[in-house]
Amino acid sequence: MAKCLVCGSEYESFINFGKQPVANRFIPPGEYESEYFFEMKVGFCEHCKMVQLENQPEREEMFNETYAFYSSTSEYMKKHFQKFAESIKNKYCTTENPFVVEMGSNDGIMMQNFKNWNMRHLGVEPSKNVAEVARSKGINTINEFFSEELAQKIIAEYGQADAFLSANVMCHIPYIHSIGAGIAMLLKPKGVLCFEDPYICEVIDKTSYDQIYDEHVFLFSVMSVSAAFERHGLEVIDCEYQITHGGSMRYTLGHKGQHQISENVKKQLEYEKKMGIDKLETYQQFAKNVENSKNQLLELLTSLKKEGKRVVGYGATSKSTTVLNYCGIGPEFIDFISDTTPIKQGKVTPGTHIPVRPYEEFSNDMPEYALLFAWNHKDEIMAKEDDFKTQKGKWITYIPEVHIFE
Ligand code: SAH
Ligand code: TYD
Ligand code: ZN
């Protein structure tokens, strides 16, 4: 039995992925003694409907000066965050000299827009390396973890905020009530909290179990987000589906009673009920689908290996850490994983020790099969990989089920 991080009720886990490493900690070859592992179990709280990891590494194990995820590696995501920032500016920055805060601002992919518009902004980013990149672009950034305590300091220095933003961060933070209390305090009476994260309904629908890794302590729904923030006097006033990260939801919240509630909220809640995300059985079925997916992927890779085919991975995503460690896929199946992020190159994947190589090693000597770990960027990748197709290369994916495509 574990205790729900949101409401304190007891729950049992519905899936155990076994020992998992820190997903974004790519390691120099051979330096395996200090590798950190934890038992990754996921549970569903029947009381507040939150899906959550039963335990998670300490935050400093994950977010530090060697954090390997640089947001700006995707051109598509740059455009996505530009549009996100534009919508916030137009809709919610209507006061004189508005102030916008972002939690987990990384290399400044979102905040650069507010900076370019000469608006008052503040990025809060604990991982030093990426925070430095943002600073070097002239983006106002503090190198700290957001919390209720930090909110007080921000108010003392800047005053209250019109908008508090975050993308792919809220679901990383187990101390959600410190965050909620901090945001409630920081927001002006008409201020909004707007954040997006991978959406539980998409994870269930696509069996995209790779969205579950050390950093993703929660998988949110409108239902569970409402329950989590209610006690801080915040209510969901809008929700908008996003295609990013394999299917995400953007939640907008405001102080209770201060905004009109969009029809989207009611519709989405009805959809979630229809999907059964408020029922334990749905997660038990998901667990079975995950096991099937694993068996099929292993079967496919084993047969390709027997046929002597060369398989290379495409995109050393954090998500791939769960797939590789859970399925037991190492260098015996995959020669290397190609990735455009310099800090990952020359290192090996956490736990399974597959080499990560620069993109050029893929493009200069194309394999027969490429296993698409960055499946969430499929459109962007397919648009630039015509050569692979011309050379009769084949793609392998496991989303929504294991299959090969050309
Ligand atoms: N918003 C970016 C980055 C997401 S990665 C994007 O969507 O691309 C998650 C980021 O959250 C990391 O940069 C990590 O350092 C940061 N983070 C983790 N815990 C945090 C906390 N308590 N406060 C602020 N940022 C945090
Ligand atoms: P991403 O799927 O954004 O995130 P996560 O780590 O949260 O699962 O990571 C994409 C990774 O794939 C990142 O390391 C960069 C890499 N990548 C490429 O190598 N080539 C590409 O064309 C794209 C879009 C990403
Ligand atoms: Zn709960």
Mean pLDDT, consecutive 10-residue segments, the chain of 406 residues? 97 97 95 94 98 95 92 94 98 96 98 98 97 98 98 98 98 98 98 98 98 97 98 98 96 98 98 98 98 98 97 98 98 98 96 98 97 96 94 96 96
pLDDT tens for residues 89-131? 999 999 999 999 999 999 999 999 999 999 999 999 999 999 9
Residue 323, pLDDT score: 98
| Cα distance between residue 185 and residue 175, in whole Å | 16
Cα(280) to ligand 2 centroid in Å equals 32
pLDDT tens for residues 39-85? 999 999 999 999 999 999 999 989 999 998 999 988 999 999 999 99
Tell which atom from ligand 2 comes closest to the C-alpha of 74.
Answer: 24
Alpha-carbon distances, residue 122 vs 8, 10, 117, 130, 280 (angstroms): 33, 38, 13, 15, 40
Token pair recorded at residue 229: 């923030």
Q: Is any atom of ligand 2 closer than 6 Å to the C-beta of 350?
A: no
Cα(27) to ligand 3 centroid in Å equals 35
Cα(229) to ligand 2 centroid in Å equals 31
Is residue 115 a contact partner of residue 96, using CB atoms and an 8 Å limit?
A: no
Cα(1) to ligand 1 centroid in Å equals 29
Cα(63) to ligand 3 centroid in Å equals 26
Q: Is any atom of ligand 2 closer than 6 Å to the C-beta of 319?
A: yes
Tell which atom from ligand 2 comes closest to the C-alpha of 339.
Answer: 19
Q: Is any atom of ligand 1 closer than 6 Å to the C-beta of 250?
A: no
| Cα distance between residue 172 and residue 370, in whole Å | 30
Average pLDDT over all residues of the chain: 97
Which of 62, 214, 339 to probe ligand 2 with, by most ligand atoms within 8 A of CB? 339
Ligand showing the shortest atom-to-Cα distance for residue 44: 3
| Tokens 């084993």 -> residue | 302
